[in-house]
Amino acid sequence: MGAVRKTGSLLTLGLIDFRTNAERLARAEAKLGLAEASLTNATERARRAQKRAEKAEAQAQAMSGRNRRQRGRIRRAERTVKNLK
């Protein structure tokens, strides 16, 4: 990995670059790959969270409708019992 370059960089207190252009490019490409993978992962997690939220909302609306119907049934039954007395 360029021992001469690295030694020269240390001896000249940084006047000579520690890494070659190829090394810098390789490191940048590696970081870019990690960033893309992280972005893909985050996008997938967000998509799954959105799907769970939509499912929970649909379930809540369904329960709301059931509760409304159940309350109507209870009220009718109470009126019937009240009328029988």
pLDDT tens sequence for the chain (85 residues)? 578 888 888 888 878 888 888 999 999 999 999 999 999 999 999 999 999 999 999 988 888 777 777 877 888 888 887 787 6
Residues 6 or more apart whose CB falls under 8 angstroms from that of 23 comprise: 1, 2
Are 27 and 17 within 8 A, CB to CB? no
Alpha helices in the chain, H assignment, sequence order = 3-11, 21-84
Tokens of 85: 């007395």
- 0.75 exceeded by the pTM? no
At residue 85, the pLDDT reads 67
Specify burial of residue 5 (Cβ count, 10 A radius: 0-12, 13-18, 19+). middle
Q: Give the phi and the psi of residue 12 in degrees, each rounded to 5.
A: -95, 10
> Domain limits of the chain?
3-84
Identify whether the C-beta of residue 16 lies closer than 8 Å to the C-beta of residue 8: yes
